[in-house]
Amino acid sequence: MINQEELWEKCAAFHGHVCPGLTIGFRAALYAVRLLDLTFSEDEQVVAIAENDACGVDAIQVVLGCSAGKGNLLFHMRGKQAFSIYKRGTGKSVRLVLRPKPREMTRAEAFEYYQNTPDEALFEVKETTIPLPEPAQLFESYRCECCGEMTGSNWIRIRGGKKVCLDCCPSYDRFHI
């Protein structure tokens, strides 16, 4: 059984402070655990796609075990407080979208609201719109022949017969708009 108080303390320690935004991600993660019967993702069993890069993403990392480094935390930047959560082994998924607050609130009021409002009132549960991403791949690395930095093969371009990274690769645009 998940000890929510301990998890909240871990989230706050990881994030550095408590705030309404952290609470949103915390509540979304716990709701996803309940809806999809999730456990902490040691590898890529759980995948999260965040539509923002705000405070709540830190709670998603701590509660669900999703991280950019493991390749199971992805960003689809839309500026929305929305999270698509996938359970890879079952193919089940859910998109949780934060509902608007019922009125203007101070920061303290918003914190209390997000802490105490039932999940169903906080989030709209929708079907995911993005297909489950494939597992993260490992890419061979090459040394850029301009700057000398090692770069993953999928980010290397061939220009003038040389392997160059995206930073060293001149852009090609016939319109110059």
Summarised one tens digit per residue, pLDDT across range 19-29 is 999 999 999 99
Q: Are residues 115 and 171 in the same domain?
A: no
| 62-93 per-position pLDDT tens digit | 999 999 999 999 999 999 999 999 999 999 99
Averaged pLDDT for residues 23-39:
98
Are residue 37 and residue 73 in the same domain, yes or no? yes
Give the CATH number for residue 144: 3.30.60
Q: Are residues 158 and 121 in the same domain?
A: no
Q: Which two tokens stand for residue 160?
A: 């003038």
Boundaries of domain holding 13: 4-126
Domain-embedded: residue 132: no
What is the DSSP secondary-structure string of 102-150?
Answer: SS---HHHHHHHHHHS-HHHHEEEE--SSPPPPPP----EEE-TTT--E
Give per-residue burial for 86-124: e unless 16+ CB within 10 Å, then b: bbbeeeebbbbbbeeeeeeeeeeebbebbeebeeeebbe
For the chain, what is the domain count?
Answer: 2
Please check whether residue 131 lies inside any domain of the structure: no
Predicted TM-score of the model (pTM)? 0.86
Q: In this structure, are 117 and 164 located in the same domain? A: no
Query: 120 with 96, same domain?
Result: yes
Q: Where residue 77 sits, what CATH number does that domain have?
A: 3.30.1330.130
92 and 59 within one domain:
yes
